[in-house]
Amino acid sequence: MPKRVDQNHQTIVRALRAVPGCTVVSLADLGRGCPDLLVGYGGISVLLEVKGEKGKLNPMQEAWHRRWTGEPVVIIRTIQDVEKLIANMTTLIEAFGKGIAENQETHD
């Protein structure tokens, strides 16, 4: 049985994919608390948990988030959240460059 996704899941995916240079992989079928989306933009990757307006993490998601030692998982609910996410990722890219691999090439 496929994992249930929030109603706004496809809307969020479409909005992200409409951003030039943004790549999106749905992880929703993995279940077991794993976040819904893996998003890449400008050399930065982020895990997203898609929730409805009042949606909360379930116990498996909470446990997964606690165990995860990478960047915090971003909870995203609306198109406006997509816009904020891309704006923040753009700020990081401008401040630190386009990614670790690119920066390493210039230092080798």
Per-residue confidence (pLDDT) for residue 97, from 0 to 100? 72
Residue with tokens 């990722």: 89
Q: How confident is the model over 4-46, as pLDDT tens digits?
A: 666 889 999 999 999 999 999 999 889 899 999 999 998 889 9
Residue with tokens 């959240």: 81
Q: What residue spans define the domains of the chain? A: 9-107
Cα of first residue to Cα of last residue in the chain, in angstroms, is: 49
* Exposed / middle / buried, residue 24 (Cβ in 10 Å: 0-12, 13-18, 19+): middle
Determine the average pLDDT of the residues in 41-53: 92
Q: Would you give the DSSP letter of residue 54?
A: T
Per-residue confidence (pLDDT) for residue 102, from 0 to 100? 56
CB 107 within 8 A of CB 39: no
Domain at 9-107: CATH code: 3.40.1350.10
Q: How confident is the model over 64-87, as pLDDT tens digits?
A: 999 999 988 999 999 999 999 999
Which pTM does this prediction carry? 0.81
